[in-house]
Structure 1
Amino acid sequence: MIYTHRLIMRPLTLADAPFMLQLLNDNSFIRNIGDRGVRSEAEAAAYLTAGPLASYQQYGFGLRAIELQQGGQLIGICGLIQRETLDAPDLGYALLPDYTGQGYALEAAKAAVQWAVALDLAQLYAVVSMENDASKRLLAKLGFRNQGVINWQQEEVLLYQLLLPTS
């Protein structure tokens, strides 16, 4: 468990499939991250099994559920994702629309960066769609630097990098 001022970041479980179905089909998720083709709770459970749950087993990290400390409402996901196409994990996050613009994404992302430091990672990446100005601002606040345009899943996106202090 990771605790911040207002949030709890915990490992995702199969019980989170209904929430993931909602998040993965949110218009802003599809626009900024992509359509994962998940249309049922069973597909959401399969997505969790093949993604975050497998990542926990293989790498010891992955996306986590973001809950509000007050009330326990599940509002999004944030964490570290190891992709085959990158030589270091990337920071990923997504919130339901009702919870954007309130500093939750920045709070969770800061905690994820601290987690990466605790794991003694040397660097993190972030992949951002060209039009996602909110994420570009958030990454700049965290100290990420724009590394330029890359081709990602048949689309041009921006790659950001953050060098981390190592022990």
Structure 2
Amino acid sequence: MLELNTPQLYMRQIQPTDWSLFAELQQEPAVMKYVGDPLPLAEQEMKFTSRLPPWQPGASHWLCLVVIEKDSQRPVGLTGFLPDETDSGQGEVGFMLLPEHQGKGYATVSLSAVVGYARQIGMTALTATVTEGNDASCRVLEKCGFAFVERIPDAYEIGNRRYADLIYRCPLNPYAA
């Protein structure tokens, strides 16, 4: 099982026993405010199940890691990336933290570990799509080496309101485009 460690956090691949964390994140309005509208339970279960197969380089599904606070041993969120389906060495990152663990630097620490792992396995670049207004996620990405590259107006709808998508990119090696 893939594991990443930092002084504060331990990250491991998601397991069936992590359903309650996944569901809590998906159902928490403060978390989902800039992610999307609530999904029916069946769709949440499908998303969860799709992330369970063991991940290794070359896999085409999400590398979904549970972020665990070392001191308390409590799960605080999820992080990871979805490799580009064209096998281009690129992927899109994502991260979600429970509200009580936001603002502690955990998103930055865990995403930095994910970026380091992606670089280690030879990926060429990571991207992120942020819903406009989610300034905290933009700051996390910038701290982790991502740069803003594009704003796509009216790209996404949450709660019957249109938002722009903000696209960020992080090249992982000097030869990445």
* TM-score (norm. length: structure 1): 0.86
**Structure 2 residue runs without a partner (length 5+):** 158-162
- Paired residues, what number? 164
| CA deviation vs aligned residue, 1:11-63 (integer Å, no higher than 9, x gap) | 00111111111111111222111135143xx764432112x225837337612
Instruction: Find the counterpart in structure 1 of residue 108 from structure 2.
Output: 106
Of the candidates 8, 13, 27, which is equivalent to residue 25 of structure 1?
A: 27
Contact 1:144 1:160 in 2 (8 A): yes
Tell me which amino acid in the other structure corresponds to 2:69. Answer: L
Match of 1:134 among 116, 136, 139: 136
8 Å CA contact retained: 1:81, 1:89: yes
The TM-score with structure 2 as length reference comes to: 0.81
**Higher strand residue share:** 2
Is 1:62 equivalent to 2:70 in the alignment?
no
Residue type at the aligned position of 2:82: I
Secondary structure at the residue paired with 1:101?
Answer: coil
What RMSD in Å do the two structures reach over aligned CA positions? Answer: 2.6
**Cα shift at 1:166:** 6.2
Change in 2 beyond 3 A, CA 1:38/1:112: farther
**SS in structure 1 opposite 2:33?**
helix
8 Å Cα contact 1:25/1:38 also seen in 2: no
Residues 156 and 165 in structure 2, CA contact (< 8 A), matched pair in contact too: no
What's 1:158 paired with? 166
Following the alignment from structure 2 to structure 1, what is the Cα–Cα distance between the partners of residues 40 and 86? 23
Does structure 2 retain, via aligned residues, the 8 Å contact 1:17–1:44? no
Corresponding residue of 2:46: 46
CA 1:111–1:148: 2 relative to 1, 3 Å: same
Identity, % of aligned pairs?
Answer: 27
Q: Which residue of 1 aligns with 2:160?
A: none
Residues 88-110 of structure 1: CA distance to partner in whole angstroms, max 9, x if unpaired?
Answer: 21111000000000111100010
Q: 1:25 to 1:112 in 2, by over 3 A?
A: same
Q: Which residue of 1 aligns with 2:78?
A: 77
- Secondary structure of the residue aligned to 2:66 is strand
Q: For residue 2 of structure 1, give the secondary structure of its aligned residue in structure 2.
A: strand
- CA–CA distance in structure 2, aligned partners of residues 81 and 118 of structure 1: 16
Residue 18 of structure 2 corresponds to residue 16 of structure 1: yes
Instruction: Pick the structure with more helix per residue.
Output: 1
The letter of the residue matching 1:26 is: E
Contact 2:125/2:169, CA 8 A, preserved across alignment = yes
CA contact (8 A) 1:81 1:90 kept: yes
CA gap of 1:135–1:148, structure 2 versus 1, over 3 A, is same
